[in-house]
Amino acid sequence: MLLGGGMPQAYWYGAGDVAESALRPGTIVEVPLRTRTVPGVVIETGRPALGFEVRPLARLAPDGARVPEDWIELLRWISSYYLT
């Protein structure tokens, strides 16, 4: 699951050509969203039974940038507290 492109919700994507071992919470990626590719942040990994097909990630961020995991915890808290 990842947050992408200023969208108000999280979306699930598959690893595609990206090695699953390279994907951890905080990994910055590029993902397809409708007709464009947008940046996103991996906030959760796994293979849940979703009941629908997921699109693959486009690629990892070119510079290997990451968001620290403690920031993700803070952002989740802010999101739930302020309902954003």
Summarize pLDDT for 19-66 with one digit per residue, the tens: 888 899 999 999 998 899 998 889 888 878 888 888 999 999 888 889
User: What's the predicted TM-score (pTM) here?
Assistant: 0.75
**Contact call for residues 66 and 28 (beta carbons, < 8 A):** yes
For residues 62-79, average pLDDT: 87
**Contact call for residues 45 and 23 (beta carbons, < 8 A):** yes
DSSP 11: E
Lowest mean per-residue pLDDT among 35-39, 44-48, 70-74, 80-84: 80-84
